[in-house]
């Protein structure tokens, strides 16, 4: 096989689970016929980036370049590209390819395709080695995995929609959250604050559960009708058996059973948080009231485009704190202390 043609871009990578992220240079493939070459303007910082950089899920290949909330400008397109032209503002989320032929791909659920290629965390089918994410000056992605962005929104605040947005939008839609329902969102971080915004936009009565009492006023401003400090057992008991649906967005160990007990008959708890270690589920909170517990992974390409268009129509973006690329290691430490309001976004101009 001929060596694929490549060019280099500046990036930030981790050399091992113990190393901080540091400047580096990485290879990107030269755009092929269906590829879009993108100059990255902004990249959101997902807690998954931190889990991955530190190999908490045990599949990281090093060097690791995280970043899957990418907003950029098209600077070149392959001869066969139909949907995009030079100058377009575009997004790339957690996926950069999939098999395109399996039942999941045909149904638009590329996130469940066993052949999916993640933006980082997969093996690069063209260049080999691990796929390298968006903490970089540029990226090359096949056009079917590039998203159109609404023109009316702040592009930096759109970046987190590409993961935090779709990861909360998709389960809320799947479980048909809407008017007349009482819905809980657990954890006011990047995912949680988008979950609050979407659940409110879909017309539900929204209750935010937090371990950080200092986030109460923000949660109300972001759209919650009520805020519960989850360490307060009396407040938790007051809501027992009353929820239709709870979306758990927590990144670390916590008690799932406390949230199962909040559900009504046939209520559902969906976990989107992906903590490093297994979480214990007790039998009784599930078998009483026929409750269910499930998970959800990002969203497919059609639903991600639907979510972006919905955000454009409803003026929904992420609340962000912009950082320079060289502040990423501090940002990770702050994320571990739940000190994010409510998503860090890297201004990629700081890497040039």
The residues binding ligand NAP (CB under 6 A) are 46-48, 51, 163-164, 167, 187-192, 210-212, 215, 249-254, 272-275, 296-298, 335, 338, 340
To ligand NAP, the closest distance from the beta carbon of 25 in angstroms equals 27
> Could you tell which of ligand NAP, Zn ion, none binds residue 318, using a CB distance below 5 to 8 A set by kind?
none
Q: Which of residues 119-178 bind Zn ion (CB under 5 A)?
A: 163
Nearer to Zn ion, 281 or 322 (CB): 322
Least Å from the CB of residue 177 to Zn ion: 21
Contact criterion met (CB below 8 Å) for 191 and 166: no
Task: Write the DSSP string, 160-171.
Answer: GGGTHHHHHHHH
* Spatial distance between the Cα atoms of 312 and 310, rounded to a whole number of angstroms: 5
What is the DSSP secondary structure assignment for residue 186, as one 8-state letter? E
Lay out the site mask for Zn ion across 80-99 (x = CB under 5 A, - = otherwise): ------------------xx
Given Zn ion, ligand NAP, none, residue 113, with its beta carbon under 5 to 8 Å by kind, binds: Zn ion
E-state strands within the chain: 6-13, 22-29, 35-44, 70-77, 89-92, 95-97, 117-118, 138-142, 147-148, 182-186, 205-210, 226-229, 243-248, 263-271, 292-295, 320-324, 343-347
Which of Zn ion, ligand NAP, none does residue 187 bind (CB under 5 to 8 Å by kind)? Answer: ligand NAP
What is the closest distance, in whole angstroms, from the C-beta atom of residue 328 to ligand NAP in the complex?
Answer: 14
State the minimum distance, in angstroms, from the CB of residue 27 to ligand NAP. 26
- Concatenating the DSSP letter of every residue in 190-211 gives HHHHHHHHHHHHTT-EEEEEES
Residue nearest to ligand NAP (CB): 189
Contact status, residue 322 vs residue 345, Cβ threshold 8 Å: yes
Nearer to ligand NAP, 212 or 235 (CB): 212
Residue 99 site contact among ligand NAP, Zn ion, none (CB < 5 to 8 Å, cut-off depends on kind): Zn ion
Choose between 101 and 294: whose C-beta lies nearer to ligand NAP.
Answer: 294
48 binds Zn ion, rule: CB under 5 A: yes
x-or-dash string of contact with Zn ion, 283-302, rule CB under 5 A:
--------------------
The sign of the dihedral angle between the CA atoms of 260, 264, 266, 269 is: negative
By CB under 5 A, is residue 117 in contact with Zn ion?
no
Q: Which is nearer to Zn ion, 75 or 102 (CB)?
A: 102
Retrieve residue 158's tokens.
């759109």
Are 45 and 13 in contact by the 8 Å Cβ rule? The answer is: no
For residues 340, 343, 348, 349, the Cα torsion angle rounded to the nearest 10 degrees is -70
Radius of gyration of the chain (CA): 20
List of residues contacting Zn ion (CB under 5 A): 46, 48, 98-99, 102, 105, 113, 163
């Amino acid at each position: 096989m001929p060596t694929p043609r490549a060019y280099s871009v500046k990036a930030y990578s981790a050399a091992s689970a113990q190393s901080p992220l540091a400047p580096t240079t990485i290879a990107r493939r030269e755009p092929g016929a269906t590829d879009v070459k993108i100059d990255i303007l902004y990249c959101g910082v997902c807690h998954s980036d931190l889990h991955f950089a530190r190999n908490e899920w045990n599949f990281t290949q090093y060097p690791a370049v995280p970043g899957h909330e990418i907003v950029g400008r098209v600077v070149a397109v392959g001869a066969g590209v139909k949907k995009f032209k030079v100058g377009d503002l575009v997004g790339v989320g957690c996926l950069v390819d999939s098999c395109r032929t399996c039942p999941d791909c045909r149904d638009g659920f590329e996130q469940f395709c066993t052949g999916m290629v993640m933006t980082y965390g997969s093996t690069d089918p063209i260049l080999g080695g691990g796929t390298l994410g968006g903490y970089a000056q540029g990226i090359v992605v096949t056009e079917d995995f590039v998203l159109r962005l609404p023109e009316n929104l702040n592009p930096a605040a759109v970046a987190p929609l590409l993961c935090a947005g779709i990861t909360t939008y998709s389960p809320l839609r799947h479980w048909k959250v809407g008017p007349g329902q009482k819905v809980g969102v657990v954890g006011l971080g990047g995912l949680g604050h988008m979950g609050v915004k979407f659940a409110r936009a879909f017309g539900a009565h929204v209750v935010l559960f937090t371990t950080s009492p200092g986030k109460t006023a923000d949660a109300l401003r972001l759209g919650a009708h009520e805020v519960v400090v989850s360490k307060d057992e009396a407040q938790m008991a007051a809501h027992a058996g009353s929820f239709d649906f709870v979306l758990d967005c927590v990144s670390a160990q916590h008690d799932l059973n406390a949230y199962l007990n909040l559900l009504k008959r046939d209520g559902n708890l969906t976990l989107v948080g992906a903590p490093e270690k297994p979480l214990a589920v007790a039998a009784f909170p599930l078998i009483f009231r026929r409750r269910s517990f499930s998970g959800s992974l990002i969203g497919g390409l059609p639903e991600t485009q639907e979510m972006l268009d919905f955000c454009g129509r409803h003026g929904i973006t992420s609340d962000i704190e912009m950082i320079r690329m060289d502040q990423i290691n501090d940002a990770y430490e702050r994320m571990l202390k739940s000190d994010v309001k409510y998503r860090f976004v890297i201004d990629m101009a700081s890497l040039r």
